[in-house]
Chains A and B, each alone.
Chain A
Amino acid sequence: MKEEIKVPKRFQQFFHWFCKKELIDELDGDLAEIFHQIREEEGIRAANMFYRLEVLKMIRPSVVKKLSFHFLNTHPIMLKNYIKIALRNIHKQMGYSLLKIMGLTLGLATVFLIFLYLQTERSFDRFHDKGENIYRVINDLQTPDKIFNFAVTPPVLAANLKNDFPEVKETTRIFQMNRIFENGNIKYEETELLAVDSTFSDIFSFAVLDGNLKEALSLPFSMAITQEAARKYFGDQNPIGQYLTTDGIGQPFEIKAILDEVPFNSHIQFDLLISFSTLDEINPPQGHRWFFLSYYTYILLDKNADPNVLESKFPDFIERNLGDIQRNAQQSYTFYLQALQDIHLSPQLDVDFGASGNRPFLRIFSIIAIFILLLACVNYINLSTARSSRRAGEIGIRKVVGARTRQVATQFLVESIIITFIAFVLALALSYFLLPFFNSISGMQHNFGWFFQFPNLIYLSLAVLVVGILAGAYPALIISKFRPITTLKGNFQFSKQGNILRNSLTVFQLLCSIILIGSTIVIFQQFKHLKNQDLGYNKEAMVVMDFRFDRIVQRKHQAIKDKFSQNPAVKSVSVGLTPPNINPPNWYAMYENNTGEMQNSSMYGYIVDYDFFDTYEIEFLAGRKFDQNFLTDSSEAYIVNEAAVKFCGWGNPEDALGKQFNQIGKSGKIIGVIRDFNFESLHSEIEPLAIQLYSPRNLSSFSLRIQNDNIQETIANLEKDWNELIPHRPFEFVFLDESLNAKYQSESRMSQLFSYFTILAVLISCLGLLGLTSFMMERHRKSISIRKVFGASPQQIVIYFSSYFSKLVVIAFLIGIPIGYFAMNSWLVQFPYRIDLSVWVFTMSGGIALIFTLLATLSHTIKAAHTNPIKNLRSE
């Protein structure tokens, strides 16, 4: 009599799964026998316990089978057969294959481009030999009412750090300048000009093409120049030993070294380098000062030194070197170290060097890329499982002839990897064509050749394998489980689970589309909102010229102003320190509070002429403008904005009039209050501002309000006037509104990229829907025909199926609203000037999703609804 043995089933299966095939008979039998014995002696519980433990103890090298991927073990002949069948199938069902391939191509291309973007952002400042030991010193400066996070440091810091800390091997300071240089008649304004310590070349590894960089950076009046910049002045001549002259400095600069072009992925960008020894000759030396923030300080740490340890010694260092100075000035420093390679992706600091990367951007786009790829995989899964009935016969035969489940699964995996590979090649081609376009949106110089560099090609091939398996695994699993008898009998039925899965995957696609559409609308609205925001002044038809404190222009400012004013196309001219597209300086200030005492503070400062308020059309709330008839205005009048009135606690604008005010050593009274105008950017609230009249040495820019027509001609005339009066300086201008828009470049890029991603996601979802509908129509062929036989009109049938898909949209919509709303709300929080997020945005995106769903499905449903029922019913 056969006794039934009930060993724990799961554990037995598990054991069979990992055990070497040739050992199963012996070991499984032995375990069963002992199990049986124990069950008789000690009962079922002890036996079960024993069995489980024994199975676990079987996990040892001599028992466990060798780790093997079945499809790597596939016989080459079978593999050949799989590939042949796969290609035949791709060919035979061209339409569906194209849908699958297109979806994956779009998904992969997106991922490639974003991967490229990520890698480029991460590559910043990684080319320096000693890069891992280079740090930048940054600081927080605490003033009585504000904390600044400065990237610039006091000039004397570098020398002190090197003196006090043996682990600081080397230090270098960098000072950003701009000057006009000339070689005879060839003249350029150099804005990428840096003064650096001679140790610059010991720390950084910028490639030297010719000459001696160290020498160029130690001797006064010598310079290093990049090849590109040198070509501007000297053409094809060898620049070494040549001279460049600059205004106001008698001695010419000798070129002592040629550098290769600075890699774009360096946050330190320059065309020319001069030495600090030169700087001290042409500017008053600042090297001893603690409260003069203009120099960036970089240090090279010892290989074995810990930056955190050094950082922890800074408080003592500060107390030792400037404790008393700080207390007198009522300001205090906290110094930090920032690893060179982290600088690019760290948040922008006050007075930072170069534009920094955008980490949140990277995160958002990586997530989106992954989702788009998932959408493509979902397409593949949906289409493959839906079409699997076509393959049922083939699988039945294969199994009858002796194919194992795993072999069939391997076959389908091979197929999906082939399709992914085709998509991969197409995606490479697509990204090649999209790259220039992508570069222009992302504002970077990505290089296509990068894809073929050593590790990247491996990553990409791995990606193909992973995507192929990800997309193919589920269909392969399902299809390989088909039972030959049912498939061969011909009444092959789909499981209900398959339908539920396909529906939920479709909902997932629609969900992503709805969220992306909604987000795009919100981002566009916010962008438009920022652009159209009332700035408090008129930015239209405003030409701004920045002459960077040029002494000669400062001297001739009145003559230039008069000349410009004579031009009939110029409505009004103003000269001052900073126009609204440049951030104004923040100065130490004292104001009279309500109790009549003077209080220390700091405030942004504008320096303007009498015509400023008319030129910019700024509204007054109280008091009056600067007036030439009041002689005291130039020495003691201040005009403040509303925010300043609030900040100083003066109450109404009228109450502010007559209050004492003092800034940069000029003490005076408030004579007027203006309505807040935006002088930074709309990313921040309007801050308190004090405006005073100019003295010529403070001037740096002209602002011209011009007629809105014939702008080209007006500019040409202005240039002629300028060149007549100021021959030494090139005529440079920007349109204020364009320059302001550049501040919203990051929003602009984001909205553009977002809209492209949305289009992609919608496109991929549509491809999926298209495939799915055609599959449904095929399956419902008979039911449609029967409906028609019983009198249903084509419209009724179309409506029936459309409502089916609409249901999916509604479900996606209900899930999508809260997610999208939450995501967009958290994005909007960063803007002080933001749109009100309304639910209708997402309702609208739901509507759009519904429309594209119906459009994608309609062609097939209409076709199906109009077929003659006889065609489908005759066969039975």
Chain B
Amino acid sequence: MVFKIELYMKGTNLGEFQEIVLLIILVLDDNAYGVSIREEIKKRMDRKISRGALHAALSRLEDKGYIQSSQGEATPVRGGRRKKYYTLTKYGVKALEKARELREQLWQEGHTAWQKLAFKK
């Protein structure tokens, strides 16, 4: 645990994909497991990712302590295999907040310049 806090304290930045995965887990609330996360990413971003790639991202997030997992129910369609649900930890929430703050700060500072560019005809 010390290890994970340390990572957070160091201010490990979220990768873009990791940030999206965290947000999707947030959106899915208590129905976030492999299939639904993948489906949601596909639906919202039109981006097909392999289950393997998703697993890599999830396991990295779990290592960092941003998410935690719990065993879920098994269904026949899964061949009797149990689901694994993911939820955000408070570190995960903090990391998202921090990412958001950073963006907003950048937006504010860049506002004037943005207006110039966006509304220049």
Binding site for B on A (CB under 8 A): 1-3, 5, 7, 23-34, 36-37, 53-54, 57-60, 62-63
* B51 contacts A27, C-beta separation under 8 Å: yes
Contacts of B27 in A (CB 8 A): none
Q: Are B52 and A29 in contact (CB under 8 A)?
A: no
Given known contacts A31-B51, A62-B56, A26 and B77 CB-to-CB distance under 8 angstroms: no
Min C-beta distance of A705 to chain B, whole Å: 90
* A-contacting residues, B63-121, CB 8 Å: 74-79, 81-84
Residues of A within 8 A of B83 (CB): 26, 29-30
B-chain residues with CB within 8 Å of residue A30 when the two chains form the complex = 33-35, 38, 51, 78, 83
Q: How far is the CA of A31 from the CA of B84 in the complex (A)?
A: 13
Q: Roughly how many angstroms separate A27 CA and B37 CA in the complex, as a whole number?
A: 13
* Docked-complex contact B34 and A60, CB < 8 angstroms: no
- Contact A26 B34, CB 8 Å, known A3-B76, A5-B79, A62-B55: yes
**Minimal Cβ-Cβ distance residue in B for A24:** B81
17 sample A-B contacts, Cβ–Cβ < 8 Å, listed by A number? A3-B76, A23-B55, A26-B81, A26-B82, A30-B33, A30-B34, A30-B35, A32-B78, A33-B75, A34-B38, A36-B77, A57-B50, A57-B51, A57-B52, A57-B53, A62-B55, A63-B56
A34-B35 contact, Cβ under 8 Å, with A28-B79, A28-B81, A29-B74: yes
Across-interface contacts of A34 in B (CB, < 8 A):
35, 38, 51
Q: Does B59 contact A (CB under 8 A)?
A: yes
**Considering the chains assembled together, what is the distance between the CA atoms of A404 and B49 in angstroms?**
37
Q: State the CA gap A1–B77 with chains docked (Å).
A: 10
Q: Are B78 and A29 in contact (CB under 8 A)?
A: yes
State how many angstroms separate the Cβ of A37 from the closest Cβ of chain B. 8
Known: A26-B34, A31-B51. A62 touches B59 (CB 8 A): yes
Which B residues touch A53, using CB under 8 A? 50
Cβ contact within 8 Å between B79 and A32 = yes
B50 contacts across to A, CB distance below 8 A: 53-54, 57-58
Please name the 4 residue pairs, one residue from A and one from B, whose CB atoms are nearest each other, closest first: A29-B81, A29-B78, A30-B34, A57-B50
- Closest chain-A Cβ to B57's Cβ sits at a distance in Å of 9
Q: Which residues of B contact A1 (CB under 8 A)?
A: 76
Give the shortest distance, in Å, between B21 (CB) and chain A (any CB): 14
Q: Given the known inter-chain contacts A54-B51, A57-B50, please indicate yes or no for A32 contacting B81, CB distance below 8 A.
A: yes
**Which of B34, B53, B60, B77 is the one whose CB lies under 8 Å from A27?**
B34
Bound CA–CA A3/B75 (angstroms) = 10
A551 to B76, CA, bound (A): 107
Say yes or no: A58 contacts B52, CB within 8 Å. yes
Complex Cα distance A345/B69, Å? 67
Known: A25-B82, A29-B83, A31-B51. A60 touches B56 (CB 8 A): yes
Contacts of B59 in A (CB 8 A): 62
A11 to chain B, nearest CB (A): 13
Cross-interface CB contact of B52 among A2, A26, A60, cutoff 8 Å: A60
How far, in angstroms, from A782 to B58 measured CA to CA in the complex?
Answer: 65
Distance between A59 CB and nearest chain B CB, rounded to angstroms: 8
Give the residues in chain B near A58, CB-CB below 8 Å: 50-52, 55
- Kindly list 20 other residue pairs between chains A and B, CB separation below 8 angstroms, not including A57-B50, A57-B53: A5-B79, A7-B79, A23-B55, A24-B81, A25-B84, A26-B82, A26-B84, A27-B55, A29-B34, A31-B51, A33-B35, A33-B77, A33-B78, A34-B51, A36-B77, A60-B56, A62-B55, A62-B59, A63-B55, A63-B56
User: Closest B-chain residue to A56, C-beta based?
Assistant: B52
Residues of B within 8 Å of A32, CB to CB, are: 77-79, 81
Interface string of B9-40 (1 = CB under 8 A from A): 00000000000000000000000011100100
- Determine the distance from Cα of A57 to Cα of B38 in the docked complex, in whole angstroms: 15
Closest partner residue, chain B, to A2 (CB atom): B76
Task: Tell me the complex Cα distance, A555–B79, Å.
Answer: 107
CB of B109 to closest CB in A, whole Å: 37
CB of B60, distance to nearest CB on chain A (Å): 8
A819 CB to nearest chain B CB (Å): 50
Question: Which of A53, A59, A62 has most B Cβ within 10 Å?
Answer: A62
Chain B: CB-nearest residue to A30: B34
Nearest CB in chain B: distance from A272 CB, A: 74
A25 touches B81 (CB 8 A): yes
Q: How far is the CA of A28 from the CA of B35 in the complex (A)?
A: 11
Contacts of A59 on B, CB cut-off 8 Å? 52
Instruction: Give the nearest-CB partner of B83 in chain A.
Output: A29
B85 to chain A, nearest CB (A): 10
Q: Which of A29, A54, A63 contacts B82 (CB 8 A)?
A: A29
Q: Which of A31, A37, A53, A54 has the most CB of B within 10 A?
A: A31
**Cα distance A399–B71 in the bound complex, in angstroms:** 31
Which B residues touch A33, using CB under 8 A?
Answer: 35, 75, 77-78
Beta-carbon nearest neighbor of A29 in chain B: B81
**Which of B34, B60, B77 touches A3 (beta carbons < 8 Å)?**
B77
Closest to B82 in A: A25
How many angstroms from the CA of A37 to the CA of B36 in the assembled complex?
A: 12
Output the nearest chain A residue to B34 by Cβ-Cβ distance. A30
Give Cα distance in the complex from A60 to B49, angstroms: 14
Q: Is there an interface contact between A54 and B52, defined as CB atoms closer than 8 Å?
A: yes
CB distance from B93 to the nearest CB of A (A): 23
Shortest distance in angstroms between A38's beta carbon and chain B's nearest beta carbon?
11
Complex CA distance for A3 and B76, rounded to whole angstroms: 7
Q: How far is the CA of A1 from the CA of B75 in the complex (A)?
A: 11
B52: chain A residues within 8 A (beta carbon) = 54, 57-60, 63
| Distance between Cα atoms of A3 and B79 in the complex (Å) | 9
Please give, as numbers and ranges, the residues of chain B lying within 8 Å of A24 by CB-CB distance: 81
In the complex, what distance in Å separates the CA atom of A39 from the CA atom of B48? Answer: 17
Distance (whole angstroms) from the CB of B102 to the closest CB of chain A: 27
> How distant is A25 from chain B, measured CB to nearest CB, in Å?
5
- Give the nearest-CB partner of A23 in chain B: B55
What residues of A have a CB within 8 angstroms of the CB of B60 in the complex? Answer: 62
A30 to B34, CA, bound (A): 6
- Smallest beta-carbon distance A39→chain B, Å: 10
CA distance A25 to B74 in the complex (A): 9
Within the complex, what minimum Cβ distance (angstroms) separates A497 from chain B?
Answer: 32
State in angstroms the CA–CA spacing of A5 and B59 once bound together: 27
Q: Is the CB of B77 within 8 A of A5?
A: yes
Minimal beta-carbon separation of A47 from chain B (angstroms): 13
Report the Cα distance A37→B43, complex, angstroms.
15
| Least distance between A24 CB and chain B CB atoms (Å) | 8
For A57, the chain B residues whose CB sits under 8 A away are 50-53
Bound together, the chains give a CA A453 to CA B55 distance in angstroms of 50
CA distance A7 to B34 in the complex (A): 18
Q: How far is the CA of A32 from the CA of B80 in the complex (A)?
A: 10
- Whole-angstrom distance between the alpha carbons of A59 and B52 in the complex? 8
A1 to B38, CA, bound (A): 26
A280 and B84 alpha carbons, distance in the complex (Å): 94
Most B CB within 10 A of own CB, among A3, A29, A62: A29
Nearest CB of A to B20, in Å:
18
A57 CA to B54 CA, complexed, in Å: 11
Give Cα distance in the complex from A59 to B50, angstroms.
Answer: 11
Most chain A CB within 10 A, of B33, B50, B53, B74, is at: B50
Shortest Cβ distance from B18 into chain A, in angstroms?
A: 14
A59 to B56, CA, bound (A): 11
Residues of A within 8 A of B82 (CB): 25-26, 29
Interfacial chain B residues near A63, Cβ < 8 Å = 52, 55-56
Residues of A within 8 A of B78 (CB): 29-30, 32-33
- How many Å lie between the Cα of A28 and that of B52 in the bound state? 11
**CA–CA, A28 and B74, complex, Å:** 12
Q: Considering the chains assembled together, what is the distance between the CA atoms of A688 and B69 in angstroms?
A: 94
- B59 CB to closest chain A CB (Å) equals 5
What separation, in Å, do the CA atoms of A26 and B38 have in the docked complex?
14
Q: Which residue of B lies closest to A34 (CB)?
A: B35
How far apart are the CA atoms of A31 and B50 in the complex, in Å?
A: 10
Residue on A nearest B53 in the bound complex, by CB: A57
Return chain A residues, CB-CB under 8 Å to B77.
Answer: 3, 5, 32-33, 36
CA distance A23 to B76 in the complex (A): 18
| A contact residues around B38 at 8 Å (CB) | 30, 34
A36 to B35, CA, bound (A): 11
The minimal Cβ–Cβ distance linking B69 to chain A, given in whole angstroms, is: 8
